Chain A
Amino acid sequence: MLDLLSGFVGELRNAGLPVSLTENLDAMEAVKHIPIEDRDAFKYALAATLVKNEQHWRAFETVFEVYFSLRGPEYNVGDEEGNGEFDPDNLEEWMSQQMQGMGGRGGGQDMSPEEIAEMLFRALLNADEAMMAAMARAAVTQFAGMEPGRPVGGTYYLYRTLRNLDLDGMLDRLIEESSQRYDGEMTPLAERLEREEFENRIEQLKREIEAEIRRRLVADRGVEAMAKTLRKPLPEDVDFMHASREEMANIRKAIQPLTRKLAARLARKRKHKRRGPLDFRATVRRSLSYGGVPAEPRFRHPRPNKPELIVVADISGSVAAFARFTLHLVYALQNQFSKVRSFVFIDGIDEVTHMFQNEEDITNAVHRVNTEADVVWVDGHSDYGHAFGVFWENFGKDVNAKSTMMFLGDARNNYHSTNAWVLKECQKRARSVFWLNPEPRSYWDTGDSVITEYSTYTDGVFECRNLRQLEGFVDNLA
């Protein structure tokens, strides 16, 4: 058990979760109190002691499934068969009982695809979970065509299984069936809810199939190898440039607290700075408790000066993925700071503050920026020099000692002139100037990148490719 747990913790660390020694010890202590047969409780005990961030839950779950998938009583696939071949005897017997109700077909022989589809349909219709799990197994056996030692990823098998099951068609049939139950008298709302319910069940079935494939792969290839292939980056390590849609949604959720943090950092700097002038009245009032001796002088609170944020973001094609993220960041910032002005550019520059301000919905705002902002001057290829020049000409006067400026872009200038003097002027006037670059540091200054030239006039250029780095930037501000 001890070996298993330390192997498990090792894998969690490999996956990037920060597990400390004390947490490891806590986990060992915790599992002593949990009956080992109770798989769920065991899982939660490990999670409570080892995972301290909700975002890491999925990574934990994957590792857990890999490590302990063959050890539950209900999952007696594997070990004794060794080769990952599924033993269908018990299942078929059980299923033939189930099939009695369907006209007594079936029996001992292998089920045809139609039969599997039919049984699956019934399982889904009646939300019969045991049946769904059994059918997931049958479907994998039938369709995935898994062979031991075949060097293919789990997604391939998943794809094969799902393609054969035709779940979309299944969904339509399910809805039809249930609307017949209502004699066709369904309100749109009821129909919608019904559809969602079925979608949910199908989603569950997919998870079941995925888990089944994973179990077999683990049995075939061994725990360590599987854990390695399933390792995925944690949400904070996902590269903005290559984030999938789902990952992007996670990132978006994580941005909110981050901007609040940024606002708090900037605000705190204000608070700690300097006390205001002597508050005479308060001092006299205070002195009464010391018998009239003004032992404790009181000061006025300094007037909080509200920080202004000026964000200038590149939204050209080369940073398209980053730009999507950038716009979300800008939107989130807008909610935190009283005064944010946002500009976007490609080779022309346009102010988009109003598009974010009057828009409650972020997706609309982003859409408006992408369609309405006037950012193309000549050919729609990045021209930092020209964009900055225009910026200075039109908005330069608005940069003052209160403003913090953030430039977001890869500084790939297509060999145009850089106009770095604009940044120099900005730095003179603004409180601070930062640059966030979505490119890996090793690419900087290669090809048409002119980041160093700009960086001379900033208070710092930060590589910003994932949430961890963005967080590092926010922490550095303090």
Chain B
Amino acid sequence: MNETMFGDLSGVREGLAKVEYLADDGIASVVFLAERLGKPVLIEGPAGTGKTELAKSVAAMSGARLIRLQCYEGLDEAKALYEWNYKKQLLRIQADRGVDAEHEDWVELQDDIFQDEFLLTRPLLEAISAEDKVVLLIDEVDRVEIETEALLLEILSDYQVSIPELGTIMASQIPLVFLTSNNTRELSEALKRRCLFLHIDYPDLEREKQIVLTKVAGISENLAEQIARVVRSIRQLELKKAPSVSETLDWARTLVLLGIENIDVEQAKETLHILLKYQSDIEKAAKELTVEA
């Protein structure tokens, strides 16, 4: 194992800060442990809180290649693990036929066409067989059916892929694996057991302010503070969809572009549609902001 990847806990945090990802204690500890224990991390939390971003940032920070598998309903092993390139196999057989058909018998041919050459690697197999450092991101794992989840188990616990015709391919080095889930359904126990669990929630006031300061160019500290406060206030309302961090950033950029330095109610109301995406939510928030507390 590449023990030297991160020095210690604070190393993780600083490293992530360098690639503009502000980790809190929980995030830093889990990333650190994942690397030390060689276990995958299952990240859960509301949409837009930086789950995918974390995997990307870890890749950027450690200089590893990011391999991403986007999950969707109907994903199968041909798209996630590997597939035989049957067209090429077919060509191979036909190419033989003309020359010396008597020469080769079936067994030889079979050995021949089930080889690496005819194997199309898909993200999971690619991550396993990679020689260089990789970070594997399995995005929105809750979208696949519960049966397909089982595909992942072998990789996640043993870092290997079994191909019936070829045998088992072991990982040459253990990649860092991140799985993200929006919690639309309960994941299976078997999958959870194999992972470290990390729940990323909306950041607290101070961290959100720091995120805004880091990510938005030319914003004043005063404005960032106000933005973070307004957003927190809005999140406390009962909404269909609370504003995410990325929406906070969009809003901050808008305010900077408009040259606003102090948010007042009118400006807030006019730009609410950036923060909230449902008409009913916008109306509700606008009403709440106007009424005196």
Contact = CB atoms under 8 A, between A and B. Distances in A.
Interface of A: 18, 20, 22-23, 26, 29-30, 33-35, 38, 40-41, 44-45, 47-49, 51-54, 57, 187-189, 191-193, 195-197, 200, 257, 260-261, 264, 268, 360-361, 363, 471
Nearest to A175: B293
A189 B289 contact: yes
B265 A189 contact: yes
Nearest to A21: B193
B193 A41 contact: no
Contact of A192 (B45, B198, B233): B233
Q: Nearest 5 A-B pairs (CB), nearest first? A: A360-B280, A44-B29, A192-B293, A52-B192, A48-B196
A33 B292 contact: no
A261 B185 CA distance: 7
Interface in B47-83: none
Contacts of A193: 226, 229-230, 233
A260 B185 CA distance: 8
Nearest to B230: A193
Given A188-B265, A189-B230, A268-B145, 16 more contacts: A26-B39, A26-B196, A29-B37, A30-B33, A30-B37, A33-B33, A45-B29, A48-B29, A49-B197, A188-B290, A189-B263, A189-B268, A191-B292, A193-B233, A257-B185, A360-B240
A192 B9 contact: no
B284 A361 contact: yes
A197 B229 contact: yes
Contacts of A363: 238
Contacts of A264: 185
Interface in B227-241: 229-230, 232-233, 236, 238, 240
A260 B42 CA distance: 21
Nearest to B32: A33
B37 A26 contact: yes
Contacts of A260: 184-185
B265 A191 contact: no
Given A30-B37, A264-B185, A360-B280, A196 B293 contact: yes
A41 B196 contact: no
A53 B33 CA distance: 18
A54 B30 contact: no
Contacts of B233: 192-193, 196
B33 A52 contact: no
22 contacts: A18-B189, A26-B37, A30-B37, A30-B196, A33-B32, A33-B33, A34-B9, A41-B29, A44-B29, A45-B33, A49-B33, A52-B195, A54-B45, A187-B265, A188-B265, A188-B290, A188-B293, A193-B230, A196-B293, A257-B183, A260-B185, A361-B280
A195 B197 contact: no
B26 interface: yes
Interface in B248-293: 263-265, 268, 278, 280, 284, 289-290, 292-293
> Main SS of the interface on chain A?
helix
Given A189-B265, A195-B293, A360-B240, A23 B193 contact: yes
A20 B29 CA distance: 22
A48 B198 contact: yes
Interface in B125-169: 145
Q: Which of A192, A257, A268 has the most CB of B within 10 A?
A: A192
Contact of A48 (B33, B265, B268, B278): B33
Contacts of A49: 33, 196-197
A52 B205 CA distance: 26
Contacts of B232: 196
A48 B238 contact: no
Given A22-B193, A26-B39, A34-B29, A192 B292 contact: yes
Contacts of B240: 360
Contact of B186 (A35, A188, A257): A257
A137 B123 CA distance: 55
A191 B293 contact: yes
B26 A44 contact: yes
Q: Which of A38, A44, A188, A360 has the most CB of B within 10 A?
A: A44
Interface in B173-193: 183-186, 189, 192-193
Given A52-B193, A361-B284, A41 B9 contact: yes
Contacts of B102: none
Contacts of B208: none
A294 to B, nearest CB: 17
A427 to B, nearest CB: 30
Given A44-B25, A360-B240, A187 B33 contact: no
B36 interface: yes
B197 A51 contact: yes
Q: Which of B30, B230, B280 has the most CB of A within 10 A?
A: B30
A38 B145 CA distance: 40
